[in-house]
């Protein structure tokens, strides 16, 4: 295709089709094209734009996929502050606000009532119709530049035609609320839970976390949405009212505040607020109230603002809906990290637009502190209108004859039968079974990680794929994957070359140092440093598994809690089963004699490393010290024996001098190690 007008026409046609498909998928939830069809057409557009960059238009769908990760966000100053709103909570306060606006106007005037979207406030700046800067609200005066992330929000125009019937739009700044639809929030939390990651408390937190990702490709995957609710600045066009500005923005392609209403009296304002409250449960997104605004822009300028909020607007907050229901039982869920979470089984009750039959009870302390008993009538709310939460028991109904019993956290995991442990000072109770089906994915991911057995190519996706297809069920199964080679190579996205590299990495891991295996077992509170200490002190796995907590506590940097965690781990039959299988498979269980001989050079001494050293990084120096039996710390104290100082040592050097700590160079450290070995 050589005719450039035909090329331009084709690019515009593909772009239009992709935009329509994206709208059907993201906004209407009614896709007419398959993911494959979209991906193939998207690839064609990208290839055409690369070949003919003059036709890579600013509003192309290829601009929404996200770019390379950033190191941090640049600060952006807002020409017009993005202020917060004063809250009101009653009909009387609503009427009082209306009277205040009327008084400033010298008589009745139009007021606009809108939904208060529960998301993250942003400003988007357009120059001659092209999106140039996207920024968070920040403190209202200074925000963060999130342009790359904001471009991934499918409903925000990347560009618009600046030539309008009202005139040429030169500079345009709009304020909007970025939010995550409820169905996307549920999918995201399910995915996080499946990977053993922390879930988000509510859609607002999820939207905020997604929009502030340094990698905009992650933001793009979260399917965020936006409602534009205010015109901050505009040049080249005259607009007199807020409602007029919303319709103008809608004409430019912006998704504006939904179902806003222009009201002529306080009664109409209250009616509009009540309508929003009654219909909020049926929305596909969260709102946390209603906003009342003066419509006339000149009146807004006249009324001005306080230090933090405009005088011409207020936010009405809805009271949380509360219901009572019976707590029928308390079940136990076991998460991917082994944490046991009590789950309330409730007599189903409809609240905030949905029927609720379950709610988390967090942990045993929460149940005790709230004095909750199985069989109680309990109060139930939806925190943020989304997350069911139990507020506590109705003590007055405890004499209703319904049988009640106290809750106790089980001593053994309901999934695998291993012992449940709870460290002093922690609220969480955990299953310690390394083979527990509920936590096996996380156990394997940790075992193969870089600081543990360092099996390259064995990432989260590979773990999930092999678990889903039944090729692995426990950690030792990793070392039997080659026997299933033919079946595994039939899976999508696993090629022969990558599988061969994986098998080679697995085989190499058998010869790893002992500390890597100890750390890879995932013993509670045992990090890399503690694993090194155990390996050096005992010399082999057999000695470690037979050691008592009292013996282990005598090792440098081991406290009673960690020592007990080690003993408990090696007393669990499930963990010993895994360890025995690993030994049978040829995994190294011994600390090499060379390592044991050299590690004692710095034994009994504590080091702090600071400044820029001539040839080694701080991490390398830390490893060198620990490999030779020394201890490292990040802060100087009276227990520090040596400060290894490089250039620009700073405050740590001054503190070491004040405390009389011996200060040495990198060269002197190396000489010290050599002299102690001889």
The H helix count followed by the E strand count for the chain is 25, 24
| Of 629, 627, 625, 628, nearest in space to 607 by CA | 625
| Of 83, 114, 129, nearest in space to 234 by CA | 129
Per DSSP, the three-state class of 117 is strand
Residue 375 · residue 404 · CB < 8 Å: yes
Which H or E run contains 183?
helix 182-194
d(CA 116, CA 88): 13
Residue 153 · residue 119 · CB < 8 Å: no
Residue 7 · residue 52 · CB < 8 Å: yes
* The pair of three-digit structure tokens given for residue 429, joined into one six-digit string: 């109770």
N- to C-terminal Cα distance for the chain?
77
DSSP 615: S
| Of 542, 539, 630, nearest in space to 593 by CA | 539
- The per-residue DSSP string of 577-591 comes to HHHHHHHHTT---B-
| Of 264, 323, 268, 322, nearest in space to 290 by CA | 268
| Of 127, 133, 124, nearest in space to 162 by CA | 127
206-215 burial, b at 16+ Cβ within 10 Å, e below that, comes to bbbbbbebee
Residue 536 · residue 596 · CB < 8 Å: yes
d(CA 578, CA 264): 74
Backbone angles phi, psi at 562, to 5 degrees: -65, -40
Backbone angles phi, psi at 107, to 5 degrees: 155, 175
Residue 322 · residue 95 · CB < 8 Å: no
Backbone angles phi, psi at 135, to 5 degrees: -140, 150
Residue 454 · residue 512 · CB < 8 Å: yes
Positions marked active-site: 116
* The pair of three-digit structure tokens given for residue 302, joined into one six-digit string: 């006249």
| Of 459, 526, 555, 504, nearest in space to 517 by CA | 526
d(CA 153, CA 210): 11
User: 454-463: long-range contacts (C-beta < 8 A, 24 or more apart)?
Assistant: 454/505, 454/509, 454/512, 454/516, 455/502, 455/505, 455/506, 455/509, 456/501, 456/502, 456/505, 457/498, 457/501, 457/502, 457/505, 458/502, 458/505, 458/506, 460/195, 462/494, 462/502
DSSP 400: S
Taking CA atoms, 11 is separated from 42, 50, 52, 571, in Å, by 11, 11, 10, 66
Q: What angle do CA 433, 556, 663 make, to 5 degrees?
A: 135
d(CA 663, CA 6): 74
* The pair of three-digit structure tokens given for residue 160, joined into one six-digit string: 């618009």
Backbone angles phi, psi at 85, to 5 degrees: -125, 150
Backbone conformation region of residue 351, classed left if phi is above 0, alpha if psi is from -120 to 50, else beta = beta
């Amino acid at each position: 295709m050589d005719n450039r007008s035909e090329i331009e026409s084709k690019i515009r046609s593909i772009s239009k089709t992709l935009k329509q498909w994206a709208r059907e998928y993201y906004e209407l939830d009614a896709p007419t094209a398959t993911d494959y069809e979209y991906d193939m057409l998207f690839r064609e557009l990208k290839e055409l734009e690369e070949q003919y960059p003059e036709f890579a238009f600013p509003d192309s769908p290829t601009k929404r996929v996200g770019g390379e990760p950033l190191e941090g966000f640049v600060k952006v100053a807002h020409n017009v502050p993005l202020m917060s709103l004063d809250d009101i909570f009653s009909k009387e306060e609503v009427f009082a606000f209306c009277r205040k606006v009327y008084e400033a106007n010298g008589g009745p005037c139009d007021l606009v009532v809108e939904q208060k979207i529960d998301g993250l406030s942003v400003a988007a700046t357009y120059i001659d119709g092209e999106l140039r800067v996207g920024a968070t609200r920040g403190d209202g005066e200074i925000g963060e530049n999130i342009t790359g992330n904001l471009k991934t929000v499918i409903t925000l125009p990347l560009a618009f035609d600046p030539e309008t019937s009202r005139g040429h739009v030169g500079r345009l700044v709009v304020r909007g609320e970025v939010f995550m639809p409820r169905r996307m929030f549920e999918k995201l939390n399910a995915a996080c839970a499946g990977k053993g990651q922390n879930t988000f408390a509510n859609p607002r937190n999820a939207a905020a976390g997604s929009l502030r990702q340094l990698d905009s490709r992650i933001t793009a995957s979260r399917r965020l949405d936006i409602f534009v609710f205010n015109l901050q600045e505009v040049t080249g066009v005259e607009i007199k009212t807020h409602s007029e500005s919303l319709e103008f923005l809608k004409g430019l392609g912006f998704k504006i505040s939904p179902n806003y209403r222009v009201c002529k009296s306080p009664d109409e304002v209250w009616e509009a607020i009540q309508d929003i409250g009654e219909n909020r449960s049926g929305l596909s997104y969260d709102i946390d109230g209603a906003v009342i605004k003066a419509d006339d822009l000149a009146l807004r300028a006249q009324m001005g603002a306080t230090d933090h909020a405009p005088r011409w607007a207020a936010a009405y907050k809805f009271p949380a809906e509360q219901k009572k229901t019976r707590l029928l039982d308390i079940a136990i869920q076991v998460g991917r990290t082994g944490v046991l979470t009590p789950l309330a089984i409730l007599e189903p009750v409809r609240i905030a637009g949905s029927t609720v039959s379950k709610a988390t009870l967090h942990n045993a302390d929460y149940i005790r502190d709230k004095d909750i008993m199985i069989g109680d009538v309990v109060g139930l709310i939806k925190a943020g209108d989304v997350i069911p939460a139990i507020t506590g028991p109705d003590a007055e109904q405890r004499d209703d004859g319904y049988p009640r019993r106290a809750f106790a956290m089980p001593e053994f995991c309901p999934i695998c039968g291993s012992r449940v442990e709870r460290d002093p000072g922690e609220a969480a109770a955990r299953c310690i079974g390394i083979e527990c089906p509920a936590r096996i994915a996380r156990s394997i991911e940790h075992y193969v990680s870089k600081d543990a057995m360092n099996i390259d190519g064995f990432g989260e996706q590979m773990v999930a794929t092999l678990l889903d297809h039944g090729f692995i069920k426990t950690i030792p199964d990793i070392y039997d994957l080659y026997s299933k080679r033919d079946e595994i190579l039939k899976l999508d996205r696993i090629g022969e070359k990558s599988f061969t590299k994986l098998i080679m990495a697995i085989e190499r891991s058998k010869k790893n140092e002992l500390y890597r295996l100890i750390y890879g077992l995932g013993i509670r509170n045992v990090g890399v440093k503690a694993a090194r200490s155990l390996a050096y002190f005992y010399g082999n796995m057999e000695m470690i598994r037979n050691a008592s907590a009292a013996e282990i506590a005598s090792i440098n940097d081991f406290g009673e809690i960690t020592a007990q965690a080690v003993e408990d781990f090696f007393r669990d039959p499930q963990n010993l089963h895994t360890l025995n299988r690993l030994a049978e498979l040829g995994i190294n269980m011994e600390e090499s004699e060379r390592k044991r001989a050299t590690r004692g050079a710095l034994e009994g001494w504590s080091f702090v490393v600071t400044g820029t050293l001539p040839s080694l990084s701080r991490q390398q120096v830390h490893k060198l010290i620990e490999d030779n039996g020394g201890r490292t710390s990040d802060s100087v104290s009276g227990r520090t024996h040596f400060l290894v100082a490089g250039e620009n040592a700073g405050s740590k050097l001054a503190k070491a001098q004040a405390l009389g700590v011996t200060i040495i160079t990198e060269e002197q450290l190396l000489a010290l190690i050599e002299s102690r070995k001889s």
